[in-house]
Structure 1
Amino acid sequence: MSNHAGKNNSVKFIDSVDAYDDDSDSLGSVLSDYNNIFYDAPTIEEPKNSEIDFGNFRTSKLCIDDSIDTSLNEPSDEEDSFILDDENMTFSLDEDKLIEKEFNDYLDDEHEILSEANEEKKRKIDQLNSIELNFDNYDLIRKMAIEKYGFVSKNFRRKAWPILILHKIKSLGSPDLIMNSFISIYENMTESQIKNNKYYNQVTLDVVRTLKRFPPEISDKLRLKLQDQLIDLICKILIKHDNLHYYQGYHDICITFLLVAGVQNCLPLIENLTLTHLTCYMESTMESTMKLLFNIMPLIDKLDPQVAEHIQRAELGVIFGLSWLITWYSHVMENLKIILRLYDFFIATDPLMPIYLGAIIVADKADVILEIDCDMASLHTVISKFPSKLNSSEQIENYIKSALKLFETYPPSSLPELNEQWLIKCQLILQQEEERRFQREQEEEMYLRQRKKNKTNDTDNKNNKVAKRKNLNMIRFRDGKSKANKFLFGLTFTVGVAAVAMYALNSNGIKDTPDLFSRFYQILSLKEF
């Protein structure tokens, strides 16, 4: 099981693959690149008194050490909106009012929505405005959240989300009363408590990276203040619930609520949603989170078995969907309108609905997936980025509709059985892969043997040809030499006989010349030429 860095080993991220066994099935190996899903570089929890360069992120909460020199933060011609108090840099009162007005204008988006909306969306807005927002109308409000276009505007979400989230504790009073009771608890928390929280530095480091999560129409000054407030609200929730463990990605959910409800109203909403939908993600380990995430593959298998088998053969696992689940897709998507539409859907449905939606997204991209080589790295790169390419409102509505149908067909109660079936199928796939691997190894071995044999035969044949050629040359040489010797002997013998004959004819001293010729003739007749 993974170890989590930070104080008391509480912050969830993986810092080294070497910390785990070589067992590819271990959870540690599955999570070894957990940080890279969120950030390009590994995250570390900085020492409490270290200086961190936060660039233009210069509000009070970023002064991790109050002793850091703030002389560079003095007002200039370009930044006359900042002043320094005795301890921290803050906004002036006038600047605060301007920023607050800008944020309220941003939240009140119904007029803008109406000017851009089609007729169907305008009718949905009219239906929403006709609903009395209280717990008695919970079922109707929930239905409207799930149906096409959801709550449409931030203005309505700010009023409707509390009904959906706080419904389970409706016995405590009206939505406004419950909200106010939670807010009063947080107001008593001090700056010192926030800065001394064990997650403060990690939260601060993560919030610095949230630039892309803010709408481009928001000014830098408002963004800086919202980031400052984001640090506060996360730490306050973690202070109140010290049994919860912060994880990277939690800030993505919190910032979404902040951009809808504002810092005060979002606190009780985030807290209660954390205790109902996000609790298992905030345990000391990622074990429960991964158990939930494993459900995505059996669902993909039911939607498209070929895609599921392709992913399984590549040994990809389910890590591609981790950030989808624990951030409700808000980290991997850039379109805030689509993110808010999904939040309407997730708040109003089962905590496992993000997994059902993920299965729909993957299965819908079957053609793309099956064209990719059965390779872990290649598949992970492509699949993990699918949600980031979703910018069509109509496409998201189709996905939501399909996810609901999948949920109805295979409710959470059926998932254990689906996992058993998928496990059996995985074992079969593994057996098939082992057989294919063995067959490939056998074929490669046979090929190498045949190649070696052919090479040996070629060498033997070549040697035989050389030997035969040498033998033939030697025979030819001996035959030629033998004929030459015979010819020479015959010639020499003939010349010798002729010489003897001439000598006999010209000499009167030898009387037995015929006998001599007779002897030579006998010798000649006995030789084999």
Structure 2
Amino acid sequence: MTGIAAGKPRRRRDMRPGGRESGGAGGRSLSWRKQKSVLIYEALTQDPVDVETLREAAVTEGGLLSQEIRRRVWPKLLNINVYSLPPKPGPALRANHRDCNQVLMDVRRSLKRFPAGMVEAERCALQEQLVDMILFVLGCHPQLHYYQGYHDVAVTLLLTVGLRLGTAMLQTLSTHHLRDFMDPTMERTRSVLNYLMPLIQSESPTLHEFLIRSEVGCIFALSWLITWYGHVLSDLHQVLRLYDFFLASHPLTPVYCAAQMVLMREEEVLRGVCDMPTIHQLLSRIPPDFPYETLISRSRSFFQRRPPCELPPLHSISAASFHSLQISSAQQRPDFVLRQQGTRPSDVPPARPQNTLVKLAVWGISASLGAAALAVTQTALEWGPDLLLRLF
């Protein structure tokens, strides 16, 4: 599930909590979170961008750490130029669109996907943007068909990266990772969903046989796959952590994640009554304290151990298009180069002035960590002084 690097091979550095490296002069070591942040910034400023390191950061413990980092890294994972975004979607797209009524109904029912305590006027404005965002993508790609749950993916992008960048990301996801779910029929979706049982069988024949006898089927996992768990998890942090993982991974990874989630509850399942209602109810309810970092780590190992090529053939458009997305992503230029080549989008705020406090922070960092920190802090300044002061 790693990327395909372009040009000179780069050494992969350990981003796990136990894999700390020296932080600079005097051998002082940074915490793993700070060290990981530095490695991400360095990867973003490589030319071409070190997408393989960004993918590694997204899938290892802690993921991409913060919203600020996600706004920088998520576009790189999908090969999106933030200085060449589609126009801002508007209400005019709603006229005569075949899916407009369904989209409006689903978005109006999506109140739980917005942060608790959000001012109603702000939420309503975001819901309007969400409708425009979805209809813009569908209008640009008439071959794509809306499905219930698509708005759950869209709202996660909107809340994280904003309207224009979220729209660009949704377009790429719709033609790649989510493409199997956007056919006029659910035949391909069922094929992806039915991959679940062979995966479980490959790891635990006992659990597989129990599930077959219970006749539970795979429908309990449908919303997990088509919404990337956004519809079933109430904690936005958990959703974002899974999105880090999925955006950096093969399109079939959510299926492996679903299978691993069931495997991690094997003892609980086998203690239950072997009938469809009992097992369906049990599996449909994800425990609130479920260990998502463990789930991600095990799902990643699961994919490497049992890759799709070793399982029954699956005619997946999403899987077939992934290789080309990997190759194109490896050729990206860093943002400071793209900024020189284009103009800043109207909804991307300019960099804030470097005030005295920030200059002192830069001086202190460079003095304590050495010259290597200068390039990192320059990038951090572009991201904003608040981020820099929190980073170190």
Cα distance, 1:129 vs. partner? 3.4
Q: 1:197 aligns with which of 93, 97, 100?
A: 97
1:160 to 61, 66, 73: 73
The range that moved more, 193-202 or 150-159, is: 193-202
CA 1:352–1:233 in structure 2 vs 1: closer, same or farther (change >3 Å)? same
Gap change, CA 1:285 and 1:199, over 3 Å in 2: same
Q: CA deviation at 1:176?
A: 2.8
Determine the C-alpha separation between the residues in 1 that align with 2:262 and 2:160.
29
Cα displacement (A) at 1:335? 0.9
- Please tell me the residue identity of whatever aligns with 1:176: V
Deviation at 1:377, TM superposition (A): 1.1
* Per-residue deviation, 1:217: 4.4
What is the match of residue 342 of structure 1?
A: 242
- How far did 1:209 drift? 1.1
1:133–1:159 CA contact under 8 A, matched in 2: no
Aligned residue among 124, 129, 133 for 2:36: 124
> How far is the alpha carbon of 1:400 from its aligned partner?
0.9
Q: CA deviation at 1:391?
A: 4.1
Q: What value does the CA root-mean-square deviation take over the aligned residues?
A: 2.0
Does structure 1 residue 399 correspond to structure 2 residue 299? Answer: no
More helix by share: 1
Gaps of 5+ in 2: 1-29, 315-392
1:379 Cα shift?
Answer: 0.8
Q: 1:295 to 1:192 in 2, by over 3 A?
A: same
Correspondence list, 1:177-216, <5 A: 177=83, 179-180=84-85, 183-184=86-87, 187=88, 191-216=91-116
Q: Secondary structure at the match of 2:152?
A: helix
Tell me the secondary structure at the aligned position of residue 285 of structure 1.
Answer: coil
Amino acid at match of 1:404: R
Matched, 1:274 2:170: no
The answer to whether the Cα contact below 8 Å between 1:133 and 1:163 also exists between their aligned partners in 2 is no
Displacement, 1:192?
3.6
Does the CA contact (< 8 Å) of 2:196 and 2:256 recur in 1?
Answer: yes
Change (3 A) 1:244 1:139: same
Task: Give how far 1:198 is off.
Answer: 1.2
Gaps of 5+ in 1: 1-117, 168-174, 419-529
Tell me the equivalent position of 2:207.
307
What per-residue deviation string (whole Å, max 9, x for no partner) do you get for residues 292-314 of structure 1?
11111111112222211111001
Does the aligned pair in 2 maintain the 1:138–1:163 contact within 8 Å? Answer: yes
Query: What is residue 324 of structure 2 aligned with on the other side?
Result: none
TM-score normalised to the size of structure 1? Answer: 0.51
Q: 2:228 aligns with which of 328, 347, 368?
A: 328
Aligned to 1:176: 82
Letter in 1 for 2:253: M
Measure how far apart 1:267 and its partner are: 0.7
Q: Is the 8 A contact 2:200 2:259 kept in 1?
A: yes
1:246-257 counterparts in 2 under 5 A? Answer: 246-257=146-157
Letter in 2 for 1:400: I
Q: Distance in 2 between matches of 1:303 and 1:216?
A: 39
> Hey, what's the Cα distance between the residues in 1 that align with 2:65 and 2:110?
24
State the distance in 2 between where 1:164 and 1:133 align: 14
CA positional deviation for 1:417: 7.3
Q: CA deviation at 1:146?
A: 1.3
Most deviating of 367-376 and 352-361: 367-376
Listed as ranges, the matches of 1:59-98 within 5 Å are: none
CA contact under 8 A between 2:93 and 2:132: conserved in structure 1?
no
1:147 paired with 2:60, answer yes
Q: Distance in 2 between matches of 1:155 and 1:391?
A: 26
- Name the amino acid aligned to 1:416: P
CA shift at 1:366, angstroms? Answer: 1.1
Matched residue type, 1:158: R
Q: Equivalent residue of 1:207, what SS?
A: helix
Higher Rg: 1
Q: Deviations over 1:318-369 (max 9, x none)?
A: 1111111100011111111111111111011100000111111101111211
Instruction: Determine the C-alpha separation between the residues in 2 that align with 1:132 and 1:376.
Output: 49
Among candidates 350, 355, 362, match of residue 262 of structure 2: 362
Change (3 A) 1:256 1:133: farther
- Equivalent pairs: percent with the same residue? 37
Q: Is the 8 A contact 1:133 1:160 kept in 2?
A: no
CA displacement at 1:259 relative to structure 2 = 0.7
1:234 corresponds to 2:134? yes
Counterpart for residue 50 of structure 2: 137
Give, in angstroms, the shift of residue 414 of structure 1: 1.0
Q: What SS class does the counterpart of residue 148 from structure 2 fall into? A: coil
Change (3 A) 1:166 1:132: closer
Cα distance in 1 for partners of 2:191, 2:36 equals 38
Find runs of 4+ consecutive structure 1 residues off by over 6 angstroms. none
Q: How far apart, in 2, do the equivalents of 1:239 and 1:140 lie?
A: 35
Give yes or no for contact 2:112–2:234 (8 Å, CA) kept in 1: yes
| Contact 1:166 1:269 (8 Å CA) reproduced | no
**CA deviation vs aligned residue, 1:460-500 (integer Å, no higher than 9, x gap):** xxxxxxxxxxxxxxxxxxxxxxxxxxxxxxxxxxxxxxxxx
CA distance in structure 1 between the aligned counterparts of 2:205 and 2:259, rounded to whole angstroms: 12
- Assess if the C-alpha contact under 8 Å between 1:234 and 1:251 holds in 2: yes
Q: 3-state SS of the aligned residue for 1:157? A: helix
How far 1:119 sits from its partner (Å)? 4.3
Equivalences for residues 16-55 of structure 1 within 5 A: none
Note the 1:354-503 alignment, pairs <5 A.
Answer: 354-386=254-286, 389-391=287-289, 395-416=291-312
Query: Contact between 1:390 and 1:396, CA under 8 Å: does it hold in 2?
Result: no
Partners of 1:227 and 1:191 lie apart in 2 by 12
Q: What SS does the corresponding residue of 2:312 show, helix, strand or coil?
A: helix
Cα displacement (A) at 1:235:
0.7
Give me the whole-angstrom Cα distance separating, in 2, the residues matched to 1:224 and 1:391: 31
- Distance in 1 between residues matched to 2:40 and 2:155, nearest whole Å: 25
Alignment-derived partner of residue 380 in structure 2:
none
Q: Residue 136 of structure 1 aligns to a residue in which SS?
A: coil
Structure 1 residues 215 and 191: CA distance shift in structure 2, 3 A: closer
Q: How far apart, in 2, do the equivalents of 1:309 and 1:332 lie? A: 26
Which string of whole-angstrom CA distances, capped at 9 and with x for unpartnered residues, describes residues 392-440 of structure 1? Answer: 5xx211111111111111101111179xxxxxxxxxxxxxxxxxxxxxx
- Alignment partners' CA distance in 2, 1:126 and 1:218: 33
Given candidates 143, 147, 161, the residue that maps to 1:243 is 143
Give the Cα–Cα distance (whole angstroms) in 2 for the partners of residues 256 and 381 of structure 1.
Answer: 26
Inter-CA distance 317–141: structure 2 relative to 1 (3 Å threshold): same
Residue 299 of structure 1 aligns to a residue in which SS? helix
